[in-house]
Chains A and B, each alone.
Chain A
Amino acid sequence: MAREAALSLALAADAAAPRPGVARRAWRVARRRPAAAAGAVVVLLYVVMALGAPWIASFDPVRTDWSQIRKAPSRAHPFGTDDLGRDGFSRVVWGARISMQAGVFSILLAIVIGVPIGLVAGYYRGGLDQLIMRLTDAWLAFPFLILAIGLVTILGPSLTNATIAIGLGATPTYIRLTRGLVLATSAEDYVQGARALGAGDVRLMGRHILPNIVSAIVVQATVAIPTAIIAEAVLSFLGLGVQPPAPSWGTMLNTAQQFLEQAPWMAYWPGLAIFVLALSFNLAGDGLRDVLDPRG
């Protein structure tokens, strides 16, 4: 009992010690690393674009207009129009929704599946761990696109199935990452202390280990989301993801490739939109690593 009191006192003292809050650290990092801050701002702009697409886009992204086929950029159509007379700008704006959706939900899926499996493997070790790791190794051996193609063959092409395929492709990374972190964290004094105080497996995993590995998982997610966004674009480009006429940057580039000589503007903007979003995510991710990991 006395030990428990001493321990909780020590914990309280630790909590009371002056530690710069996340917000202040974020501000400091933003001032020191303007590129990361700029990246974060651009990602936020994309979020606004995705959420506000109905108000930002000036045209219906799927409405065809036979009098406006493959028109060069103009005041009415700043990004030009495509082979069916649809407004390029509106389609790029709406495309943000699909890209963000695919990027975020696929990685969420990977986290929801991967983290608990990694947690169990790293916590219980032994035969179960071996079994999970062999399965993970085999899963990792499928090159991402080949795996996605295989899954889409089984499930059929659609945005949801592409998201599932991308998520399942990213899952082994989270299993491995979580397992490694759990192995390192389990050896820490505070986990051993909690165990000595009689905390059960679930409490140890949920209250003591998980909170300490969350930031590493979030950082990994910021690196994984741009990759997932590009992956969605690739699948849609190949015709295995979002189906026309939905405005996905990947499908737009697929169409654009057929009209490179007559309407090159069709190829500029969707690709640029993916590139800038991925670049911003990567820049912001570097900064986030500094914010979430005060030791780094």
Chain B
Amino acid sequence: MIEFLVRRAVISGVTLLVISLIVFVGVRMIPGDPARVLAGTDADAAGLEEIREKYGLNAPLPVQYGRWLALAVRGDLGESIRTRQPVRQTVAAKLPITIELACLSLLVAIGIAIPAGILAAVRRNTLWDVLASGVSLCGVSVPNFWLGIMLILLVSVRLGWLPASGFVPIADDPLGNVKRMLMPALVLGAGLAAVLMRQTRNAMIEVLSADYVRTARAKGLAQPAVVLRHALRNGLIPVVTILGLQMGALMSGAVVTEQIFVIPGFGRLIVEAVFTRDYPVVQGVVLITASAYVLINLLVDVSYTMLNPRIRIRSTADGA
């Protein structure tokens, strides 16, 4: 198992390096003088010289990359052209908001998807199953920003139940915070719920026909005990993997959701940065999201390797 984990970590490390290379090359592909790209169009000669000095922009490209990477690893992602604040600080201020949104959406998605998926699998080919699959298909097909707009229209404009947009820090006003996060979490969670529900259903159908489930039934266990204790635990393993892979979709969704509900998080930061040509911020956000994705998936792999002895042993046997 150690061998598997080490191998998995090395691959992730290589992936992170390639990601940094892609981002570095991407920034160099922006037309114009890289110093001006990183310092902003209204920077003076001294500012430009400072940037040139810091990143060694007169040195050959590999040296530039090395210097840039060394700074990035230490958390120095340059400073925002617009606010002149370090990118690290800007990101650190916005990140908790997006993480809260993502966690709430995960709760929504899991809360809908797992019970619905189990129900559809247990009552396979009944009206419940058809209904759950239909809703799931709609969830995959509906553009989440339109869902958000329709929710605002119905809940805020027509019914006046919840505020349409804005954000209050949870520390200032917990109730107000939840009130404003409810619709965004629902919108962001809906697509994920659809995907997870389908996976849960398929995984549960497979597991429910396994021998050990039949054994559990044969020894007279009641249906809930069989489903929840014996089947669900194994059925959830592929679902956890999918959850890790869906993190990218969740991050993409957060960008749109924050835009609709005017939540000042990570996603809004990057869209604003693109429009103001704040390249250091774009670069930092892209680098951080891609790295986070790799690390989250590494964690997912590690956690289910530890949870499931079968994967642990098989991977060692394969020498993988």
Residues of A that sit less than 8 Å from B by CB: 134-135, 137-147, 149-154, 226, 230, 233-234, 237-240, 253, 256-257, 260-261, 264, 267, 270-271, 274-275, 278-279, 281-283
Contacts and interface: CB of A to CB of B under 8 A. Distances in A.
A142 B19 contact: yes
Contacts of A261: 157
A9 B256 CA distance: 59
B255 A230 contact: no
Interface in B119-142: 137-138, 140-142
Interface residues of B, number: 50
B290 A143 contact: yes
A271 B11 contact: no
Given A146-B290, A238-B271, A274-B146, A138 B19 contact: yes
Contact of B274 (A144, A240, A283): A240
Tell me whether chain A's interface is mostly helix, strand or loop, or mixed. Answer: helix
Interface in B142-164: 142-143, 145-146, 149-150, 152-153, 157, 164
27 contacts: A137-B18, A138-B15, A138-B22, A140-B248, A141-B15, A141-B248, A141-B294, A142-B22, A142-B248, A143-B247, A143-B250, A144-B252, A145-B255, A149-B286, A150-B26, A151-B26, A153-B274, A153-B282, A154-B29, A230-B143, A237-B259, A238-B256, A238-B259, A274-B146, A279-B137, A282-B140, A282-B141
B255 A141 contact: no
Contact of A146 (B16, B150, B270): B270
B282 A139 contact: no
A261 B140 CA distance: 28
Contacts of B15: 134, 137-138, 141
Contact of B145 (A143, A153, A237): A237
A162 to B, nearest CB: 13
A5 to B, nearest CB: 42
Contacts of A143: 247-252, 289-290, 293
A141 B164 CA distance: 33
A77 B141 CA distance: 27
B8 to A, nearest CB: 12
B255 A146 contact: yes
A282 B137 contact: yes
B141 A279 contact: yes
Contacts of B247: 143
Contacts of B289: 142-143, 146
Nearest to B288: A146
Given A141-B15, A143-B293, A144-B249, A149 B149 contact: no
A274 B143 contact: yes
A267 B149 contact: yes
